[in-house]
Structure 1
Amino acid sequence: MGIEISRLRRQYGQFTALDDVSLTIADGEFVAVLGPSGSGKTSLLRILAGLDQPDAGSVQRDGQDLLALDARRRGVGLVFQHYALFPHMTVAQNVAFGLRVRPWRSRPKASVIKARVEELLRRVELESYVGRYPAQLSGGQRQRVALARALAIEPRLLLLDEPFGALDAQVRVNLRRWLREFHRSLGITTLFVTHDQDEALEMADRVVVMNCGRIEQIGTPEQIYQHPATPFASGFIARGQSLPGELDDSHLRLFGHAWRLDDFATEDVHKVTVHARPEHIVPASRQGEGLAARLLGLRHVAGTVRAGLQMDGLAEPLEAEWSERDWARHAVAVGESLGIHFQSLTVFGSDKDGRVRARAELHPHQSVSPVAFGPWRRLEA
């Protein structure tokens, strides 16, 4: 049955950390809670861990009221960003700590604890480090010790609070791949809190996007990235960039052109937000085609070219992302002009309270080969 979180609310003075949050987590599922600082993700984790209590709402696990249990009886393993290892204890002693401090009636025998520690250290690939102290380990090794310590108590729920935040970039990449495979081998229900989009999209079965104490969207990594449900999800996950579009009857007007929006409910729509992702902004195949833009700068990153573009009517530059191969065919010097097309646009219609009432995906070049982008087609209203 898993975990059923229903209408959680947590208020700190005038600040609302959680605002009517509901979520279901299946047994063995790996769920990432993703959002910026202050979005409520850590408040949710603390309530599940028993470190805080909500002002309203409920949490059920397999039909049992989880909030009625104190932290020690919840069967929760918690891994923090900064390891929280005991510096005066060896690796083996740190991993065994949660078992050794149990009341004597439920404390395993010393031989059982020793075997459990050895098994976990083999799993986290640190069996040869049993006698070392935290200061003698790298950051990635310390985090694996922290994970082994959390698993030693055989938790039913594993909570990870930005566990890679204190590590350098390459260690993070290696460790998150390792953790994903590790989770698959154990099948423990896991909630992973992060503000890093790449971590969430690469590791999770499902992603929960939070903002200002509320859930913006829940879905698989592919759903979240390819079909963001709100302007916030689009900007935070898919790097959606705002364009000055206007709704005119059933048409979207943008940069002097108009497109018909099919199946776009206009009732209660007070504001239209148009987003374009960097990979959907492409250079025109021939000179004189497309919308005029000026190249502000280029960055070459891991086989891609990230271009800053300035367009008339936009206060902020747009970022486009192309492959090195595509850019070689259309290269212009920084400061020069070029024509661009939008392969795809996401259109959100919101009411006066900012709630999304309608959503559409517009593909101006849907029938055109991605190698030879055709001119924009104009629709007269």
Structure 2
Amino acid sequence: MGIDISRLRRQFGSFIALDDISLRIGDGEFVAVLGPSGSGKTSLLRILAGLDQPDSGSVQRDGQDLLALDARRRGVGLVFQHYALFPHLTVAQNVAFGLRVRPWRLRPKAAVIKARVDELLRRVELDQLAARYPAQLSGGQRQRVALARALAIEPRLLLLDEPFGALDAQVRVNLRRWLREFHRSLGITSLFVTHDQDEALEMADRVIVMNRGCIEQVGTPEQVYHRPATPFVSKFIARGQAVPGEVTASSLRVLGASWRLEGFADETWHAVEVHVRPEHIVSSPRPGEGLPARLLGVRHVAGTTLASLQVDGMHEPLEAAWNGHDGGRHASGERVTVQFQALTVFGLDREGRVCARADCHTPHLASPVVSGPWRRLEA
């Protein structure tokens, strides 16, 4: 059971929107498709919805060729970013629309439609607003009406295209928590397209990270965040920042400090790329122990101090995220020493593809070690 996507390709002139992507979505799974603008996520959603056709590839749902069906026969519910509600229809009429426009042989009786609409409005907690018009609702309420309308046709697949993009920050937080619980109660297969990392990591069972028409990584939110498979995922999801590093024998050298790498010599790497995350750059408790740096700026955001650092020996500044005591005792322009608590190391082949990776952790800069041997990533 589920949806199997195989070697899907879509090209517009010289622009490749989808580059032979393959993917499996499990039955009842909530999957977030995450990526920057132009990464191909909306093209994937449009093909699944029947709004566009691929140049090549296949989409199977429970053994059935989904691409052979027109949009009305696919059993797909679609929720857009800007609601797409009919302003001249009431909330109840909007929700009922998909059922009322069915061919008369397939159209439920009026009493069945009303019962279905009443049930859905109770589920989305809008049953008291059935007689109102969209203009009389808040943004969050309109989005729930759009969701109820998509569910009225009892879809087997629910597609959500940036559904919270038009909402303010607090409404987004509240509504995505509600939607996650709502999805669990329904058990419907859902594909959620977004460019917001927080939404994807908070809501999804699995996250698909896309870039330039390709899938960079598929995994649980924890896997994608804590073990990014590529430098792009590291930068896009975990705000990984490149630091200069080189490998000699079984050691990684980063700004004068050595990190032991086990099994690295056997890998067919051509170059390495080393990343550090903001939360892994800490202020040294003892002056002079660590990497000398100058504070370019300090910002306090929601209990976290974001510090811009010019580390000696680096051209580009780094951003550190400090909590508590670390954040409150420094000011802009001050000279400090910092330590890297962890590093992610990518081994790249001659085409720039990742052939291996390692996560390095250390409690003390004087004796850094790697958490485990490098391993070759599966293609």
**TM-score bracket, shorter-length normalisation:** over 0.9
Return the alpha-carbon distance in structure 2 between the equivalents of residues 325 and 258 of structure 1. Answer: 28
Return the alpha-carbon distance in structure 1 between the equivalents of residues 99 and 64 of structure 2. Answer: 24
The one-letter amino acid paired with 1:341 is Q
SS at match of 1:119: helix
Return the alpha-carbon distance in structure 2 between the equivalents of residues 288 and 169 of structure 1. Answer: 42
Return the alpha-carbon distance in structure 1 between the equivalents of residues 226 and 264 of structure 2. Answer: 18
SS at match of 1:175: helix
The one-letter amino acid paired with 1:307 is A
TM-score with structure 2 setting the length: 0.95
Displacement after TM superposition at 1:375 (Å): 4.2
Displacement after TM superposition at 1:287 (Å): 1.2
Give the alignment of 1:154-193 within 5 angstroms. 154-193=154-193
Q: Which residue of 1 aligns with 2:141?
A: 141
Return the alpha-carbon distance in structure 2 between the equivalents of residues 51 and 265 of structure 1. Answer: 50
Displacement after TM superposition at 1:288 (Å): 1.2
Return the alpha-carbon distance in structure 1 between the equivalents of residues 265 and 208 of structure 2. Answer: 26
Return the alpha-carbon distance in structure 2 between the equivalents of residues 316 and 255 of structure 1. Answer: 13
Displacement after TM superposition at 1:296 (Å): 1.3
Return the alpha-carbon distance in structure 1 between the equivalents of residues 160 and 292 of structure 2. Answer: 47
Q: Which residue of 1 aligns with 2:360?
A: 362
SS at match of 2:118: helix
Q: Which residue of 1 aligns with 2:275?
A: 275
Q: Which residue of 2 aligns with 1:344?
A: 342
Displacement after TM superposition at 1:230 (Å): 0.3
Of the structure 1 ranges 318-327 and 53-62, higher mean CA displacement relative to structure 2 is found in 318-327
Q: Which residue of 2 aligns with 1:353?
A: 351
SS at match of 2:306: strand
The one-letter amino acid paired with 1:347 is V
Does the 8 Å contact 2:260/2:368 carry over to 1? no
Displacement after TM superposition at 1:265 (Å): 5.5
Q: Which runs of 5+ in 1 are unaligned?
A: 366-373
Q: Which residue of 1 aligns with 2:219?
A: 219
Q: Which residue of 1 aligns with 2:332?
A: 334
Does the 8 Å contact 1:42/1:193 carry over to 2? yes
Displacement after TM superposition at 1:267 (Å): 3.7
Instruction: Note if 1:17 corresponds to 2:14.
Output: no
Q: Which residue of 1 aligns with 2:366?
A: 376
Return the alpha-carbon distance in structure 1 between the equivalents of residues 325 and 331 of structure 2. Answer: 16
Deviation per residue, 1:160-213 (Å, 9 max, x gap): 000000111111000000000000000000000000000000000000000000
SS at match of 1:17: strand
Taking a change above 3 Å as real, the CA distance of residues 378 and 165 of structure 1, as seen in their structure-2 partners, is closer
SS at match of 1:253: strand
The one-letter amino acid paired with 1:275 is H
Does the 8 Å contact 2:310/2:318 carry over to 1? yes
Return the alpha-carbon distance in structure 2 between the equivalents of residues 290 and 312 of structure 1. Answer: 11
Deviation per residue, 1:58-83 (Å, 9 max, x gap): 11000111001000000000000010
Q: Which residue of 2 aligns with 1:371?
A: none
Displacement after TM superposition at 1:251 (Å): 2.0
Return the alpha-carbon distance in structure 2 between the equivalents of residues 322 and 21 of structure 1. Answer: 39
Return the alpha-carbon distance in structure 2 between the equivalents of residues 242 and 266 of structure 1. Answer: 24
Return the alpha-carbon distance in structure 2 between the equivalents of residues 30 and 215 of structure 1. Answer: 17
Q: Which residue of 2 aligns with 1:370?
A: none
Deviation per residue, 1:125-152 (Å, 9 max, x gap): 1111111111111111110000000000
SS at match of 1:215: strand
Return the alpha-carbon distance in structure 2 between the equivalents of residues 50 and 265 of structure 1. Answer: 49
Q: Which residue of 2 aligns with 1:69?
A: 69
Does the 8 Å contact 1:297/1:334 carry over to 2? yes
Does the 8 Å contact 1:266/1:349 carry over to 2? no
Return the alpha-carbon distance in structure 2 between the equivalents of residues 235 and 200 of structure 1. Answer: 15
Displacement after TM superposition at 1:224 (Å): 0.5
Does the 8 Å contact 1:157/1:189 carry over to 2? yes
Does the 8 Å contact 2:340/2:365 carry over to 1? no
Q: Which residue of 1 aligns with 2:377?
A: none
Q: Which runs of 5+ in 2 are unaligned?
A: 370-379
TM-score with structure 1 setting the length: 0.94
Return the alpha-carbon distance in structure 2 between the equivalents of residues 117 and 316 of structure 1. Answer: 56
Of the structure 1 ranges 182-191 and 245-254, higher mean CA displacement relative to structure 2 is found in 245-254
The one-letter amino acid paired with 1:291 is L
Does the 8 Å contact 1:265/1:357 carry over to 2? no
Does the 8 Å contact 2:361/2:368 carry over to 1? no
Deviation per residue, 1:225-258 (Å, 9 max, x gap): 0100000000000110010112223321211222
Taking a change above 3 Å as real, the CA distance of residues 153 and 339 of structure 1, as seen in their structure-2 partners, is same
Does the 8 Å contact 1:244/1:274 carry over to 2? yes
Displacement after TM superposition at 1:56 (Å): 1.1
